[in-house]
Every structure is written in C-alpha cells, then in structure tokens.
Chains A and B, each alone.
Chain A
Amino acid sequence: MASRKSPEKCKEGADKYSVLLPTYNERENLPLIVWLLVKYFGETEYNYEVIVIDDGSPDGTLEIAEQLQKIYGSDKIVLRPRPKKLGLGTAYIHGMQHATGNYIIIMDADLSHHPKFIPEFIRRQKDGNYDIVSGTRYSGDGGVYGWDLKRKIISRGANFITQILLRPGASDLTGSFRLYRKEVLQKLVEKCVSKGYVFQMEMIVRARQLGYSIGEVPISFVDRVYGESKLGGNEIVSFVKGLLTLFATT
C-alpha cells in the first residue's frame, strides 16, 4: 500500500485545487480539456494541478498526456495511470493519494463539463464555506445541449422520482462536476459502494447524512457523444435498482 503524503501548501494558508480527470480513450479530448483548464485557472490567481488517471487506454491517451506534461510542466500535469479499467471510486482514491491540493475538483474529460465554471465553483465555496459545491443542470440557468426529447424526459423524470424518494437537498444528483474539500471526498469515497450514476448520487446522500454543507452552481452540459446511446435499458435498470437501494438503506 502506497504511503500517503500530507498535502503541502506553497504558502501558509494558500489554497490549491487538484482537478481529477479519470480518462478512458480520451486521446482527442484530453489536450482540449487541459488547454481549457490551464486557460481558466490562468485567469485566476489560484494554485492548481491536473491529475490524469488513465485506465490503460488503448488509443494512446497516456502518450498524449505525457506530451502535455512536457508542454505545461509536471507540477501542473500529474500522471497517475492504472493498468486497466478499475472503476470511478478507486480512480478518485488513486488520484487523491498524490494530490497536493486541499480542494479536489472532479469532472468528466469528454468536454461535457466546461472548466469556465471552475472559478464560479471556487467563489461559491468561499462565499458559503461549503464542504461540497455541485454543478447542476436542473436549476438556475443550468441546462444541456445535444439531448433529444426522450433523453430530457428520462432525465427530468428520474430526477423527479429521486427528489421525492430521497429529498437530497441538491437539485442534480447524478451530475459529476463537483468541488470537494479533500478530506470530505476521502471520507465519502470510502463509504460509498455503488457504481456509475448511482455512485454520484450516493456521494451526495451520504454527504447529507454526515452533515456536510452543499452549495450549487448552474452549469451547461454539452453532450457531444449522445449519438452513441449512453443511456440504454441496462443503465435505466441499474439506476432504478441503485435508487431503491439508497431509498431502503439511507
């Protein structure tokens, strides 16, 4: 078991943000998302690092990550690859082990989550001293692009049922664009046992149970890969099973 280093801060009291990017076959998108992260963080004064957790992608994602490391520096681009697809929860744990930030940002690497919202996440966190800030597609001027009517109905319907059953105190439970205090994320990942969409839901539900405070920022979610039908019957079934499990156990 790897030893854990305690987080180092550059100056006394300075915050640092570690962005965790689990990737699988994101050779096309990884340079673009890193470029956007560097751009938007660069416009702020905040200290940051981007941690790429690649699960043995056959398309050369790791190779392009190494090129990005040469361009932007290995203090900004940290590589934590794994030999094969091992699941999101363990990816977060693996990524956090060498994270030197005191805040962790999780997001998708496929450009559906836009780094331009990260300064807003940070501001919201500071304003309310929140333990977690969650991006929401469902409230304020949050929204989506690239979803057809069927997808929107399923999404809103599922969210409605989830709100009624779980009363979670957050408007978007299945979203995965979030900012966590590092120790909060560590605690939650240990406690959560579900997979996929339900894993993200369970994180918020458990956070509420443990008394953590949750703030929200409306985000736009640009889905460019919907055409490859990510929402099949299987996913709906496992979502319902996961929802009922959370209903009965939390």
Chain B
Amino acid sequence: MTKLAEWLSGLTLLGVLWAAVTFDLLGLDLPEAVLQVSWPLPVFLLVALGCYSLATVGYRVATFNDCQPAAAELQRQIQEARTDLQGKGLRF
C-alpha cells in the first residue's frame, strides 16, 4: 500500500467513526456531552497538529547544531593540504 493509500484509508476510517458518533448514525443514543466534544474535534485536532508542527520545527531550528569548530578545522586542513600538495609537485 502506498503512503497515500495508507493516509486515505486512515482518514476515511477516522472520518466514518467521527460521523457515526457526531450524527448518531448507529442510533447509539450517546450522552449530550460526548456529542459536544466530538462535533468540533476535527478542527481542534487540525489546530493542535498545526501548533505541534510549528513548535517542533521551531525547536529543531533553534537547536540546529552550528559546526563552527568543523569549519575552522577545515580551513586549517585546506592550508595544510595545499602546502603538502605543492611540495609533491601539484600545480594548482
């Protein structure tokens, strides 16, 4: 199953469950409290997902390791390499 198919079946299943509860399709006679929560649930989850995404990406950008020592080491090694290679006869 492709990822797209997985997502579509997952969303369809959740959609059916949500509709069954919210519109009382199965005649289960659920308490009012349950209906009040389930009705706005999709929007709520979407907003929660959006907040989670922003927070996660923001955190990862803030903690993105900055390899200053690696850059400095590279510069030193470039100098060392150029000197060594010139000594071995390389014409840059």
Contacts and interface: CB of A to CB of B under 8 A. Distances in A.
A141 B61 CA distance: 14
Given A35-B84, A143-B67, 17 more contacts: A31-B85, A32-B82, A71-B85, A71-B88, A71-B89, A143-B66, A144-B67, A145-B67, A145-B68, A149-B61, A152-B61, A156-B57, A160-B57, A167-B3, A220-B67, A222-B74, A247-B2
Given A160-B53, A220-B70, A67 B64 contact: no
Contacts of A145: 66-68, 70-71
A54 to B, nearest CB: 17
A68 interface: yes
Interface in A115-159: 138, 141-147, 149, 152-153, 156-157
Contact of B64 (A35, A36, A143): A143
B4 A247 contact: yes
A141 B65 CA distance: 7
Given A248-B2, A249-B2, A250-B2, A146 B71 contact: yes
Interface in A205-227: 220-222
Contacts, number: 84
Contact of A157 (B57, B66, B92): B57
B56 interface: yes
Contacts of B3: 165-167, 246-248, 250
A35 B53 contact: no
A156 B70 contact: no
Given A141-B65, A152-B61, A114 B70 contact: yes
The 8 A-B residue pairs with the shortest CB-CB distance, nearest first, are A143-B65, A220-B67, A220-B70, A35-B81, A145-B67, A145-B71, A248-B4, A156-B60
Nearest to B92: A31
Given A149-B61, A247-B4, A250-B3, A71 B90 contact: yes
B12 interface: no
Interface residues of B, number: 27
Nearest to A167: B3
20 contacts: A31-B90, A31-B92, A35-B81, A36-B81, A64-B90, A67-B90, A71-B88, A111-B78, A143-B64, A144-B65, A144-B67, A147-B64, A152-B64, A165-B3, A166-B3, A222-B74, A246-B3, A247-B3, A247-B4, A248-B2
Interface of A: 28, 31-32, 35-36, 64, 67-68, 70-71, 111, 114, 138, 141-147, 149, 152-153, 156-157, 160, 165-167, 220-222, 246-250
Interface of B: 2-4, 53, 56-57, 60-61, 64-68, 70-71, 74, 77-78, 81-82, 84-85, 88-92
Contacts of A149: 61
A142 B84 contact: no
Contacts of A220: 65, 67, 70
A93 to B, nearest CB: 27
A145 B90 CA distance: 29
A192 B57 CA distance: 29
A70 to B, nearest CB: 8
Nearest to A163: B56
